[in-house]
Amino acid sequence: MQFDRFLRAIPEDMPVIAAGDFNVPPNSRFYRRFRRRLTDAFASVGLGFGYTYVLRGVPVLRIAYVWTGNGCRPLACRLGKAGLSDHRPVIAEVGVPGRMVSPAVRMGRADSHQ
C-alpha cells in the first residue's frame, strides 16, 4: 500500500526527485512499477552494481535509490562509503528544468549552477 500511495502522490506537472532506502531490489515488482513512472539515477548514469546494503562489510544488495521524473534527469550518480550505517549513500547530480542542483546544494551550500 505504501508504494501505491507514493506513486499516486507524484505530481504530474512538477519536477520530481525522490531518494531514500526503498528496501526493494531491482528485480522486484515494486521496482518495476517505479520504473514505469520514474528514472533510477544509478541505473541510468551510475557505474557498477550499485549495491547499497552492506552485510559484514561487503556490499550485497541494491535497495536505496535516487529517482527522478517529470523533467528532472540524472546527470551523474555514484555511491559513498557506508560509514556508521549498513547502507552506502547514493549521491546524484540531477538536472532540474531551468537549473541544475549539485551535491553542494544538498550539503547546504547555495552554489548551484544555471
Q: Output the pTM of the full model.
A: 0.80
81-101 mean pLDDT? 85
Note the Cα 100 to chain centre separation in Å.
16
Which of the residue ranges 57-61, 65-69, 82-86 would you say has the lowest mean pLDDT? Answer: 82-86
- Cα radius of gyration rounded to whole Å, the chain: 14
77-97 mean pLDDT? 92
State the architecture of 2-106 in CATH terms.
4-Layer Sandwich (3.60)
Write the pLDDT tens digit of every residue in 7-22: 888 888 889 999 999 9
Q: How many CB atoms lie within 10 A of CB 77?
A: 22
Mean pLDDT of the chain: 86
Please give, one letter per residue, the 3-state secondary structure of the chain.
Answer: CHHHHHHHHCCCCCCEEEEEECCCCCCCHHHHHHHHHCEEHHHHHCCCCCCCEEECCEEEECCEEEEEECCCEEEEEEECCCCCCCECCEEEEEEECCEEECHHHHCCCCCCEC
> Which residues neighbour 99 within 8 Å (Cβ) at sequence distance 6 or greater?
112, 113, 114
pLDDT score recorded for residue 111:
42
95-101 mean pLDDT? 72
